[in-house]
Amino acid sequence: MDALLDFVGEIYEASYHPGHWDTVTTGLCRLLNARSGAIVMDDHEGRVRGMIGAHGLPRAVRAAYRFGMAKYDHTFQLQQREPLGKARQIVHAQDMQGDHPLFYRFILKPNDIGFIAAMNVYNDDEWHVGIGLHRSFQAEPFSDEDCLTLQRLYPHFKRALRIHKEFHRLRTRQQSLESALGRFMTGLIILGPDSTVNYCNPVAEAMLSRHQALTITDHGHLQAHYPQENRRLQALLAQQASADRQDISSRNQAIGLNHPDREHILSLMVAPLDGALTDAPQPAGSVALYLCDPDSSFNLPAESLRTLYEMTPTEASVAIALVNGQSPNQISEQHGVSVDTVRSQLKSIYLKMGVKKQQDVIRTLLAGVMQIG
């Protein structure tokens, strides 16, 4: 019983640390004297099937399972008919040899799987998650006591796997958000309620590297170069962090920051951060800063143009050069191609962007924020 209680802790650790599910599966195999095993998931919503955790199975098997072999896994099909939380031995290899010869020949025999005990954890319209444990042809079948031990762990697996999925959703959403903000054409910095920088997009990073009027300290806070301007900046950030979201007059304040090495100021617009960027309310006190450096070139990543308009790398560089004020002659000289080649590339850009002239390209790309699909 002590070993079982210790093992429960491993299960919950895996709920927020996905890489730990292999350790859980290994521990489960040791607990029930199984030579191999897997926690298998069929996510109906995400249309993904694979092994969340596994032990004793070759990596090739895990990869093959993820890329299509899963649909031939007769064990998973048998498992779907079982009640939730009920563990029992569902496969005896000798029976499978006659009833399902391909499953026996390609799965059971090559991997020395003579017996399989299984338990359903989830089985609904959202997903199917099951645990399968394997013993060798030379081993004893799983006993009723073995299956009862697995059943005792059912509520813990159920809770931990639900937490695991919710964390996965959050991680996926965060990755999507960061990908979208990375394509933001304006320099963007997001501060949390404690004034710590939570996000700085690539355009803002490039601006800060060139214009030292604003820096991010080792502690993750913003600091203006001149003390007097820094005091104004900190007061402005505090004001916007506490601004009434319904009071339009108190929102969206601007400030210009100077540096002795720069002729022009670094312009900042500061605003309380609501759901406009993230599609969800942010913690009270979160603030967004939009940066503009007149000396900076157009900073849109070429990858965004390739993704949004299906431009080639060369076409993307031509479009960016155009927005930065270069003429077709200058572009041809910079790229080492003829002007006719540049004009041909521009025609392709017009077609992909749905515009008719150079001014339309510039106007479209400087319109603010690109629509992220």
DSSP string of 158-193?
HHHHHHHHHHHHHHHHHHHHHHHHTT-SSEEEEE-T
Counts for the chain of helices (H) and strands (E), in that order: 16, 12
Whether residue 297 lies inside any domain: the answer is: no
Residue where a domain stops, chosen among 124, 139, 173: 173
Residues in the chain: 373
Q: Which residues of the chain have pLDDT under 50?
A: 183-184, 248, 275-280, 368-373
Residue where a domain stops, chosen among 154, 173, 192: 173
Cα angle 25, 49, 69 (rounded to 5 degrees) comes to 90
Identify the pLDDT of residue 139.
92
pTM: 0.49
Whether residue 373 lies inside any domain: the answer is: no
**CATH number, residue 45:** 3.30.450.40
Euclidean distance between CA atoms 345 and 85, whole angstroms: 62
- Counting the structural domains of the chain, the total is 3
Residue where a domain stops, chosen among 114, 144, 173: 173
Looking up tokens 């200058």, which residue turns up? 330
Same domain, 16 and 163: yes
Same domain, 84 and 135: yes
Same domain, 195 and 165: no
Same domain, 161 and 188: no
Whether residue 372 lies inside any domain: the answer is: no
- Residue-range definition of the domain harbouring residue 75: 2-173
Same domain, 254 and 198: yes
Residue type, 243: A
pLDDT digits (tens, 9 = 90+) for 217-267: 999 999 999 999 999 999 999 988 887 655 545 556 778 899 998 888 888
E strand residue ranges, the chain: 36-43, 48-55, 88-92, 115-123, 127-135, 187-191, 197-200, 214-216, 222-224, 253-257, 266-272, 287-292
Same domain, 88 and 233: no
Same domain, 38 and 138: yes
**CATH number, residue 243:** 3.30.450.20
Same domain, 190 and 256: yes
Identify the pLDDT of residue 372.
34
